[in-house]
Amino acid sequence: MIRSSSLNRRNYLYHIGVSMLIVANICFYDMEHIVLYQGMCIFAMMVMLYTAVRNKELHFGGSRGVLYLTVLYTMYTIYGLFFLRADTYNDDRLIFTFIQCVLLYISFRHLLLSENWLRQLSVSFVISGLFCIAYIIAMEKDMIFVSQVEERIGDTLSGNVNTIGFSLGMLSYVVTYLYAKTKSKFILFVLLGLMAMMLLTGSKKTVIIIFLDIYTYYIASKERMSSFIKVLLFGSFIIWLIKDSPYFYEVIGKRIDDMFSTFTGDKLGDYSYSTESREGMIQDGFRLFQNYPIFGGGMNYFAFASVKYGHFGYSHCNYTELLCNFGLFGFLLYYIPYIKNIASAWRIRNRDRDKSMFIIFWLIMGVILGWAMVQFSELCIDYFPIIVSFALLDNLKSKN
């Protein structure tokens, strides 16, 4: 076992690798910046691999996280090579993401060995968050610094504003938990910056993330009464921003009103074709799943078989996409570890409440957001909750 003082001296290389990987995935994951993305990822992976070898940590005995990732990506590869139904299968990109995920697991496992695990984990997330905020402001300042935002920001990053909102939300969760424990004004500044950028992407799922963050703050904080008042006030402030602030209403509040108007048939709002399309795609996905319920219809089966919504290429829902492509077999393979890790974290709640609540709420966030986006084969950030939960639980298991 490496002593904690030694751990702290060696952590800076892991922080460099993790931070660069996060920034590359959030800011440069598009064709315009593909060379920069690949270069940053390769450099970050080399740093993490070098550090793991130097610290003699490149071992996977009993590493359920690596086993989980290996089984999943093996399934993706087999289906992509032999059961491809539409488009092309980019095996290089998927293997590249798999290696990133494995190295992230090794890095997180090391960082979480420290008694001060939350601070060690948070360093990379805070650094990445600051860079992303600064980059968005620098690239889209002409839109941000106006009296009223008219378009969603984020197109200068990965090219998908919903993905940017979700990715920033992954950072915000860790920063929220850190703020609940430290009450640092600097950490609060980073958190508020992340939340503001999330709302300006116009992604409705960011509102879900922010309110999950708010509840997480309440759970993680020890001062329950004062925390309840702060949560109530801040939650009310967020609702006011979305509903009544002209700056935020046009970019996200209006879209939420239109979504509810479409659901309820209320004529007060504009009709949301995005909401109708997503609702139809999810219904279509469950219908197509019934054609091949056990092992699925093959990679990209939804895009192949959906006549009405196939032009989107995917169903915009992790559940229907997994069920259509891989059937119940792939769906359970993906989500059973979420349930098992939540149950394992719940069992340790009396022994280590902080770790238990951190794991449970981050995994629940991942499960909830699966309804609004496809997560299984894209950015390594999508795997952060399950990877970190495996790293924490594997460390606890090895100590016992």
Quote the CA–CA distance of 85 and 309 in Å, as a whole number: 16
Q: Worst-scoring range by mean pLDDT, 38-47, 144-153, 288-297? A: 144-153
pLDDT band at 62 (very low <50, low <70, confident <90, very high): low
Contact 100, 160 (CB under 8 A): no
Half-sphere exposure of 45 (CA within 13 A, CB side): 17
pLDDT band at 227 (very low <50, low <70, confident <90, very high): confident
* pLDDT on residue 268: 53
Tokens representing 369?
């957001």
Contact 107, 14 (CB under 8 A): yes
Q: Worst-scoring range by mean pLDDT, 26-35, 41-50, 119-128, 255-264? A: 255-264
Whether 146 has a pLDDT exceeding 80, the answer reads no
Identify residue 133 by its one-letter amino acid code: I
pLDDT digits (tens, 9 = 90+) for 185-211: 999 999 999 999 999 888 888 999 999
Whether 377 has a pLDDT exceeding 80, the answer reads no
Whether 15 has a pLDDT exceeding 60, the answer reads yes
Whether 5 has a pLDDT exceeding 50, the answer reads no
Angstrom CA distances, 20 to 44, 301, 349, 385, stand at 6, 34, 33, 18
Whether 346 has a pLDDT exceeding 80, the answer reads yes
Neighbours of 148 (CB within 10 A): 11
Report the pLDDT averaged over residues 246-250: 83
Report the pLDDT averaged over residues 294-305: 90
* pLDDT on residue 158: 58
pLDDT band at 7 (very low <50, low <70, confident <90, very high): very low
Alpha helices in the chain (DSSP H): 4-27, 34-54, 64-82, 91-111, 117-144, 161-182, 185-200, 205-220, 224-244, 246-248, 254-264, 273-289, 301-305, 318-347, 353-369, 384-399
Report the pLDDT averaged over residues 321-327: 94
pLDDT band at 228 (very low <50, low <70, confident <90, very high): confident
Contact 297, 324 (CB under 8 A): yes
| 306 vs 21 pLDDT, higher one | 21
pLDDT band at 270 (very low <50, low <70, confident <90, very high): low
Contact 267, 261 (CB under 8 A): yes
Average pLDDT, whole number, for the chain? 86
Whether 312 has a pLDDT exceeding 80, the answer reads no
* pLDDT on residue 263: 59
Report the pLDDT averaged over residues 58-87: 88
Q: Worst-scoring range by mean pLDDT, 33-47, 105-119, 134-148, 313-327? A: 134-148
* pLDDT on residue 296: 93
Quote the CA–CA distance of 206 and 201 in Å, as a whole number: 8
Q: Any residues with CB less than 8 A from the CB of 35 and at least 6 apart, and which?
A: none
Half-sphere exposure of 284 (CA within 13 A, CB side): 23
Closest CA to 368 of 210, 243, 262: 210
pLDDT band at 264 (very low <50, low <70, confident <90, very high): low
Whether 115 has a pLDDT exceeding 80, the answer reads yes
- Hey, which residues does 84 pair with through a beta bridge? 299
Q: Any residues with CB less than 8 A from the CB of 184 and at least 6 apart, and which?
A: 178
Closest CA to 21 of 94, 101, 76, 137: 101
* pLDDT on residue 3: 41
